[in-house]
Amino acid sequence: MQHKKNKIINIVASSIITILFLVTATLFYYPKPINNLFIIDKIIIEGSIKSNQNKIKKDVEEFSRYLIGLNSHDLKRILEENDWVKRTNIKKVFPSILIINIIENHPYAIYLDDGKSFLVDIDGEIITEINSDKYEDKLIFIRGEYSNLNLNKIIKDLNIIFSDLVNNIEELEYVEERRWNIKLKNNLIIKLPDEKIQKSLENLKKLFEDQKIMDSNIIEIDLRIHGRAAIKVLDGKVNYGLDEI
C-alpha cells in the first residue's frame, strides 16, 4: 500500500516538473504567443480626481501591453512622476485587467521660485505648476532657495509644538539656506534661529500664551539669539505690557 502511494506521489511530482519545464521553455522560446493571451485590454484607475487619467493610461500602454512580465515597481515609478500622483498601487487581474489605485497629493502651500508658482504638499514635494494669481485656495506661501526641500521639518515642528500658529501663517521664507522667517497674517515677522528651532518655538508659544501678541502693535519678534527675544514695535511702544522677554 505504501509502495503504491509513493509511486503515485512520484508520478504527480514528475508531472508537475514536466509541466513547469514545458511552460518555462514555451515562455522562453515562444514568448509572443503566450503574451498575446495576456494583453492588457482594460485599465481601471481608482482614486483619481485631479490627476490626468488619459496620461496615466498612455504611460501604461507605452510601458507594456502585457500583464505577463509587467514590472510593477518600474511602472509605479513612472506613474508617480505624473502631476498630482503621490503614490500608486498596481494590481494585475489575469488575463487582461490592470487596476491602478492612486493616492493624490494634497496642496499645503504655494512654492514661489524664480517667478513661477508651484503647489507643494506637506512633505514639500512639488505637485504641479500653477498661476498663483488665479488660484483661489488660501495657502501658505513658501519663498527662498531650497525652501521646499526643508518645508517638512519646519511644518512638523510647528504642528508638534505650536499648532495654533499654523492657521495664522501667511508666508514662510527660507533665509540664507539655513533658517526660517515666519510672516503672520497680521504682518508680524518672526525670525527663527538656524539651530534649536524646537526650543525657540516653545519659547514663542509661551510668549503668545502669556501676552496679547496678535492684538499688539509688535511687528517683529527676533529669536535668532537663544534665550532672548528682541521685539520691534510699530510706534516705539508696545500697546500691551510684556512681563519679561
Q: Residue 92's pLDDT is what?
A: 94
Report the C-alpha gap between 140 and 148 in whole angstroms: 12
| Total-model pTM | 0.76
Task: For residues 138 and 225, state if they share a domain.
Answer: yes
Least confident segment among 20-29, 75-84, 98-107, 202-211: 20-29
The answer to whether residue 243 scores a pLDDT higher than 60 is no
Return mean pLDDT, the chain. 86
Task: For residues 115 and 63, state if they share a domain.
Answer: no
Q: Which residues, in sequence order, are CB contacts of 26 under 8 Å at separation 6+?
A: 34
Report the C-alpha gap between 147 and 49 in whole angstroms: 28
The answer to whether residue 242 scores a pLDDT higher than 50 is no
Task: For residues 183 and 222, state if they share a domain.
Answer: yes
To which H or E segment does residue 231 belong? Answer: strand 230-233
Question: Which of 4-8, 28-32, 165-169, 238-242 has maximum average pLDDT?
Answer: 165-169
Q: Is residue 161 part of a domain?
A: yes
Q: Is residue 195 part of a domain?
A: yes
Report the C-alpha gap between 146 and 159 in whole angstroms: 21
Amino acid (one-letter) located at 36:
N
Task: For residues 117 and 129, state if they share a domain.
Answer: yes
Say which CATH number the domain at 89 has. Answer: 3.10.20.310
Query: Residues 221-241: what's their mean pLDDT?
Result: 77
Report the C-alpha gap between 155 and 140 in whole angstroms: 11
Instruction: List, as one string, the DSSP characters of 34-74.
Output: HHGGGB--EEEEES-SSS-HHHHHHHHHHH-SBSTT--HHH
Residue 161's domain spans which residues? 109-233
Q: Is residue 147 part of a domain?
A: yes
Q: Is residue 242 part of a domain?
A: no
pLDDT band, very low/low/confident/very high, at 68 (cuts 50, 70, 90): confident
Taking the CA atoms of residue 88, residue 89, residue 94 and residue 95 in that order, the dihedral angle to the nearest 10 degrees is 0
pLDDT band, very low/low/confident/very high, at 78 (cuts 50, 70, 90): very high
Q: Is residue 240 part of a domain?
A: no
Report the C-alpha gap between 139 and 117 in whole angstroms: 12
Q: Is residue 168 part of a domain?
A: yes
Task: For residues 141 and 97, state if they share a domain.
Answer: no
pLDDT digits over 207-229, tens only?
888 888 888 888 999 999 887 88
Cell 527675544 identifies what position?
229
Span between the terminal Cα atoms of the chain, in Å: 94
Cell of 135: 488660484
Q: How many CB atoms lie within 10 A of CB 4?
A: 8
Phi, psi dihedrals of residue 231, rounded to the nearest 5°:
-105, 135
Q: How large a percentage of the chain has pLDDT more than 90? A: 62
Domain count, the chain: 3
Task: For residues 60 and 163, state if they share a domain.
Answer: no
Helix (H, G, I), strand (E, B) or coil at 230: strand
Query: Residues 8-30: what's their mean pLDDT?
Result: 65
Q: Is residue 238 part of a domain?
A: no
Q: Is residue 14 part of a domain?
A: yes
- Mark which of 51, 79, 104 sits at the end of a domain: 104
Task: For residues 65 and 171, state if they share a domain.
Answer: no
Q: At what angle do helices 151-161 and 197-210 cross, to 10 degrees?
A: 40
Amino acid (one-letter) located at 221:
I
pLDDT digits over 100-127, tens only?
999 999 999 999 999 999 999 988 899 9
Task: For residues 18 and 117, state if they share a domain.
Answer: no
Nearest residue to 221 (alpha-carbon basis) of 245, 202, 240? 245
Query: Residues 67-89: what's their mean pLDDT?
Result: 95
Task: For residues 142 and 228, state if they share a domain.
Answer: yes
Say which CATH number the domain at 161 has. Answer: 3.40.50.11690
Cell 502585457 identifies what position?
66
pLDDT digits over 131-190, tens only?
988 898 999 999 999 999 999 999 999 999 999 999 999 999 999 999 999 999 999 999
Q: Residue 227's pLDDT is what?
A: 79
Task: For residues 136 and 217, state if they share a domain.
Answer: yes
Ordered strands of the 85-93 beta sheet:
42-46, 97-104, 85-93
Task: For residues 62 and 96, state if they share a domain.
Answer: yes
- Mark which of 88, 104, 120 sits at the end of a domain: 104
Phi, psi dihedrals of residue 100, rounded to the nearest 5°:
-120, 115
Task: For residues 195 and 170, state if they share a domain.
Answer: yes
